[in-house]
């Protein structure tokens, strides 16, 4: 008899675990994000029972750019920054000495050379970025809802939520509108 009760209890537990994992497995990324936002609001609102969903925007991925996600892109970005830094070292904003013909600044050629190199590297980075398929760094979703504030007044809120790349945790929430 004890084995039978234990066995039924284990079966119910197993069915519950499978149901939970199946729901997670069959949810779209949009549904996972909406569910995560709802759980977050349940734990942070002044009166979670007053929550009323108005709308969710489409879930948007933040994808690593070429200069952040690719090793060569990172090096090129560093190179562009060093050219920009070198260019600024040779720029003359103080009105320093001029050459004899009073038309050419002593460092103007170097400044233009480094600026030109920086522009060239930036153009290459922009071209590579157009076709680069970087990793998803995080997601963003905006949600409009009604809920009571600390004074008990019902307000309309629009909040942008930043969600980690695994869709398991909200990393940042920013209220955009509060009416």
Share of the chain above pLDDT 70, in %: 77
Asked if 77 and 69 count as a contact pair (C-beta separation under 8 A), the reply is no
Length of the chain: 179
What whole-number distance in Å separates Cα of residue 135 and Cα of residue 138?
9
Residues contacting residue 94 through CB under 8 Å, at least 6 positions apart: none
Res. 15 pLDDT band, cuts 50 70 90: very low
What whole-number distance in Å separates Cα of residue 174 and Cα of residue 152?
21
- Segment 34-42 shows an average pLDDT of 97
pLDDT tens for 66-118 read 998 999 999 999 999 998 888 888 775 554 444 445 555 667 888 888 889 99
What whole-number distance in Å separates Cα of residue 47 and Cα of residue 50?
6
Res. 161 pLDDT band, cuts 50 70 90: very high
138-155 b/e (C-beta count within 10 Å ≥ 16 → b) = bbbbbbbbebbeeeeeee
Residues contacting residue 145 through CB under 8 Å, at least 6 positions apart: 41, 51, 52, 53, 54, 156, 157, 159
Task: Tell whether pTM > 0.75.
Answer: no
Higher pLDDT pick, 52 / 4: 52
Higher pLDDT pick, 69 / 19: 69
- Segment 150-171 shows an average pLDDT of 94
Asked if 64 and 137 count as a contact pair (C-beta separation under 8 A), the reply is yes
Q: Is residue 18 predicted with pLDDT exceeding 50?
A: no
Strand partners, 172: 162
Q: What is the pLDDT of residue 110?
A: 84
Q: What is the pLDDT of residue 62?
A: 94
Q: What is the pLDDT of residue 10?
A: 52
Q: What is the pLDDT of residue 87?
A: 83
Q: What is the pLDDT of residue 144?
A: 97
Instruction: Give the ranges where the chain is alpha helix by DSSP (H).
Output: 2-26, 29-44, 66-69, 71-90, 108-131
Q: What is the pLDDT of residue 26?
A: 75
């Amino acid at each position: 008899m004890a084995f039978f009760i234990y066995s039924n209890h284990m079966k119910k537990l197993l069915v519950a675990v499978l149901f939970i994992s199946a729901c997670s497995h069959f949810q779209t990324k949009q549904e996972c994000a909406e569910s995560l936002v709802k759980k977050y609001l349940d734990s942070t609102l002044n009166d979670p029972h007053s929550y009323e969903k108005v709308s969710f925007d489409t879930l948007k991925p933040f994808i690593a750019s070429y200069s952040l996600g690719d090793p060569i892109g990172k090096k090129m970005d560093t190179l562009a920054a060093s050219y920009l830094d070198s260019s600024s070292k040779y720029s003359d904003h103080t009105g320093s000495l001029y050459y004899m013909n009073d038309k050419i600044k002593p460092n103007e050629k170097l400044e233009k050379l480094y600026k030109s190199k920086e522009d060239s590297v930036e153009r290459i980075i922009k071209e590579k970025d157009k076709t680069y398929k970087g990793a998803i760094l995080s997601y963003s979703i905006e949600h409009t809802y009604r809920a009571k504030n600390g004074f008990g007044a019902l307000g309309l809120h629009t909040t942008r939520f930043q969600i980690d790349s695994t869709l398991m945790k909200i990393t940042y929430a920013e209220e955009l509108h509060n009416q």
